[in-house]
Amino acid sequence: MYISEEEVRAVLTYEALIPAIRQALIDYSAGMAEQPARMILRAGNAEGHRNGWFAVMPAIHGDAMGVKTVTFYPGNVELGLHTHMAVIELLSRATGEPLAVMDGRLITEMRTAAVSAVALATLMPPQARSLGILGSGVQARAHIRAFREVWPSLREMRIWSRTPENAERLAAETGARVTKGEEAAGADVVLTVTSSPTPVVEGQWMAPNALVLAVGATGDSLRELDDEAMRTSWVAAESKSCAERESGDVRFSGARVDAEIGEILSGAVAAPVGRRIVFKSVGMAIEDLTAAQLVWQARKSAKPHLE
């Protein structure tokens, strides 16, 4: 069975996805999932930033197995195409039977935002009032939708983008206001969702007790936060090994990953209060598998004759 993006959109909700991702992150840190390192191949289709990549991401968790193949082509922006595209295959762990193949682009978009929403709900500073967003693309929009599930009182949003017209468009859609990068980075909660190869946030701009959700610039040679931002913050991640291997923010700054978010969620590690926290997200296969299972279960409920 093939499940299209339109069908995924019809059944996958943040209301269901956020708590499922929360439990998956706890299980991952408890050693209850098999997830080898992501394998990435450069496409060699172009020079410089237009050079795309192809990645394979398998995982086993619970009663399911799955593998996502995903591509990232930055030059697709100029062609009017999505930069990220993906396909997920879901299989039964008990028998190895293929259950479904589904479009993974929207799943990748939503599970990324759901992970950040889990971190936000867990680590948000007391009395946080403002959200600063650096970036104005697909992930910025997805995160705003996900954040409103866990932060319904959110009213003040500041947006900065290297493309001012995109920032203006997003601000008009969401009731936010466009600001300079320094002001966006000075919010109580800061979200970075850019593809910048060099830092867009300096530590000196940020509040001492801010929560920084660093989501963009996934790759061991890319970064969004400068050395000061990383080295003066308490750092959490989905996975220590993934962040240390795949995050340029961690690798180039020499910052230490203090805890995994699953350890904080389970109570094994206590996050500091009154100190700036950086949560670094690079995306994991278990998150895609979790979302794919929700889609599959929803489809089975809607069409019980389908196996």
- Please provide the average confidence, as pLDDT, over all residues in the chain: 95
* Segment 62-76 mean pLDDT: 94
120-137 per-position pLDDT tens digit: 999 999 999 999 999 999
Indicate the pLDDT class of residue 281, thresholds 50, 70 and 90: very high
CA–CA distances in Å: residue 48 to residues 45, 74, 82, 165: 10, 10, 18, 25
Q: Looking at residue 303, what is its pLDDT?
A: 67
Q: In the chain, which ranges are E strands?
A: 2-3, 33-34, 39-42, 53-61, 64-72, 84-92, 98-103, 130-134, 156-160, 177-178, 189-192, 211-214, 234-237, 259-260, 277-280
Does the pLDDT of residue 93 top 60, yes or no?
Answer: yes
CATH 3.30.300.30 describes domain 123-283: no
Does the pLDDT of residue 304 top 70, yes or no?
Answer: no
Cα gap 199→202, rounded to integer Å: 7
CATH of domain 2-107+286-302: 3.30.1780.10
Q: Looking at residue 306, what is its pLDDT?
A: 46
Q: Which residue carries 């929803």 as its tokens?
A: 298
Q: Looking at residue 12, what is its pLDDT?
A: 98
Cα gap 163→223, rounded to integer Å: 18
Q: Encoding tokens for residue 202? A: 């300096």
Q: Looking at residue 307, what is its pLDDT?
A: 45
Cα gap 88→34, rounded to integer Å: 17
The residues spanned by each domain of the chain are 2-107+286-302, 123-283
Q: Looking at residue 221, what is its pLDDT?
A: 80
168-208 per-position pLDDT tens digit: 999 999 999 999 999 999 999 999 999 888 999 999 999 99
Is 0.85 surpassed by the pTM of this model? yes
> Among residues of the chain, what percentage have pLDDT more than 70?
98
